[in-house]
Chain A
Amino acid sequence: MFSVAGFGTLGAVHSSEHDADFTPSFFKPDGAGYTNDWSMAPDSLAALQATAVFTPRLSAVVQVLAQQNYNDTFWPHVEWADVKYQFTPEFGIRAGRTVVPTFLVSEARNVGYTYQWLRPPVEVYGLDPNTSNDGLDASYRLQTGKVLQTLELVFGSRNQEVAHAGQVKAEQRWIVSDTLEYGALTLHVAFQKTTLAVPYLAGLFDAFRAFGTQGNALADEYDPQRKRATILSLGALYDPGRWFVTAEGGRSNLDSVFGRNSGWFASGGYRFTKFTPYLTYGVASTNGLSDAGLGTAGLPPAVAAEAMALNDTLDTLLSTKRVQNTVSAGIRWDFMKNADFKLQVDHTRIDAGSTGALLNIQPGFTLGARYTLIGAAVDFVF
């Protein structure tokens, strides 16, 4: 049996902050605000998926997805491509490119039709914008009375181009995840450990190393070269049908200039047949947004100036960690079969010293700014 299905989102978003861009993922190079007053790049995508069921046990899936790439093209890429062998109805192994089950809605993160928000809250979902892994994925379902659990173990790696940062390598990635369903309640917990290499900063930290012991210590602390990265997340959803409440928290430790970041959100909504208004509150926090850097006392003026320039670059990098909170209000309208229309307004307050989740920061940008997003989207599945 061979079947083809697809999904997509056509969205436009406006940001009141004109000295920086808003986009939900650091894989994207620009967005709304500075580059475009209104931008379709942050939320729009389209995908086609082919599923082949060879035998009741053996099947294969290929999903091709087009969205704004790191280099501002919209060329499609292979999002999933795996072969699954289902040993029993409960136990299966997939090999190839599969989903990264970090968060509660990670599995369907790209499929806007499956959730109420215009986009998953950036305070949590921005902690890990990765959606795919190259490797193996074992899944086991366990039913004990009315409690259903899905245990997953994922192993693999993934190399991806990040906008303005070159290639990022996630190697020796291990993820364990458990999703527990009991009636209207869903709980999800996941832990991920990977070795992360972000080579584009090597030049900067080599320059720090030229400053001897002090420079070496700073480079060892901050250089994201093959550093251990972990993400722990815990999410809950209670959805009896007419209404829903959900909350999720996550903590990442990138053990480098990208630091320890955490975020949580709470969201709820009520379904009036075709209209679902909802509210969300999200908070993101981090450790140190700045560092004293290299001491300049006693250095010749030219060398001191170089040290100060390096310190400034380090501080700028540290300030890009996100510390912010967002209040979002929106409505989903199921205006026709297999399609919805969404309208969402987000008001974000960035904390002092941080650029929040924004990018392409311009000279006129004030750290700790506040901004409002207005977004609209149509999601569809077929």
Chain B
Amino acid sequence: MLGLSMSLSVGAAVVTVVSSKSPVLALSKSQIADIFLGRSYRYPDGAPATPIDQPEASSLREQFYNTVAGETLALVKAHWSKIIFTGRGQPPKIVGSGAELKKLLAANPLAIGYIDSADVDASVRVVDSR
């Protein structure tokens, strides 16, 4: 039973990805959270990072922020409201789907996003450190 529920949750996992041409190999949860929540503008090697979000209503988005930051989408919205309403910055650009994200990553090696692990292919690299 336990094995089954574990494999189920792994099957539906959200993974953080960059272009396979990106020099970034692995990032910790907190490094990923910092980039997506506007706390960090760069990868650990100093290159500027461009985070890409999934649509506000997507369950993938909910799962992603829950996993990397332990935050609900309402908390993430509250966090960005703080930044937006002082003119300090704007939240990540949003793409419509995993396929669209992969296209964008292929065009921009500095971009970083998240997709369903089932959508991973050779064009992207999963950077979540285990």
Contact = CB atoms under 8 A, between A and B. Distances in A.
Tell whether A and B belong to one assembly: yes
Contact of A90 (B41, B81, B82, B87): B41
A241 B69 contact: yes
A206 to B, nearest CB: 42
Contact of A242 (B48, B70, B85): B70
A148 B90 CA distance: 19
Contacts of A241: 69-72, 75
A108 interface: yes
B85 A7 contact: yes
A213 interface: no
B8 interface: no
B74 interface: yes
Contacts, number: 80
Interface residues of B, number: 25
Contacts of B30: 146, 183
B87 A240 contact: no
Interface in B53-84: 56, 69-72, 74-75, 77-79, 81-82, 84
Interface in B89-112: 90
B77 to A, nearest CB: 6
Interface SS majority for chain A: strand
A73 interface: no
Contact of A111 (B34, B39, B69, B81): B81
A89 B48 contact: yes
Given A51-B90, A183-B30, A89 B42 contact: yes
Nearest to A274: B74
B86 A99 contact: yes
B7 to A, nearest CB: 26
B123 interface: no
A273 to B, nearest CB: 7
